[in-house]
Amino acid sequence: MFRGVAIEVVHGDITKLEVDAIVNAANTHLYMGGGVAGAIKRAGGKEIEEEAVKKGPIKIGEAVVTSAGKLKAKFVIHAPTMELDFKTDEQKVRLAMKAALKKAEELGIESIAFPALGTGVGGLQKDLVAKIMVEELRKHIESGTRLKKVIFVDINKEQVEAFKKEVGVLI
């Protein structure tokens, strides 16, 4: 618990979580090919991608929301960490995290789940990404939030351990 917000780390599949919104580590054109995006599309239905693409392209530092199709979540927040060149960096991950949190506030949601942003095809180090994401969450909570629960989730055990370490510093 950090300032009234429950923060959890889960080893598992983001598409199975029952939260208000899940975050998709998107590209700026919002095509949902591989990685987390592909998993969300497979589990929730291609209508998520169709809805997202109609709202794109968007810039890194922006986020759009779509319905969540067949998922238990109500919304998918698409926050790009890369262009179609699949290159990302620390600053892009920071911007994507801020954009997703801002969109969550606009929606007035209370629970959200984040995958690791930029560690898949983006290739960033798992511990670096965990540090950036938890830092941005801390700043967001400190500035005031409606969120009650934040989950960092990943299917990769190393990533889960990196999240646990950073969340442990925070709470």
pTM above 0.85, yes or no: yes
pLDDT 10s per residue in the chain (171 long)? 999 999 999 999 999 999 999 999 999 999 998 889 999 999 999 999 999 999 999 999 999 999 999 999 999 999 999 988 888 999 999 999 999 999 999 999 999 999 999 998 889 999 999 999 999 999 999 999 999 999 999 999 999 999 999 999 887
DSSP state of 166: H
CA angle 46, 122, 85 (to 5 degrees): 75
Cβ contact 77:22 at 8 Å: yes
| Six-digit token string for 59 | 């810039």
CATH superfamily of 6-170: Leucine Aminopeptidase, subunit E, domain 1 (3.40.220.10)
Cβ contact 136:92 at 8 Å: no
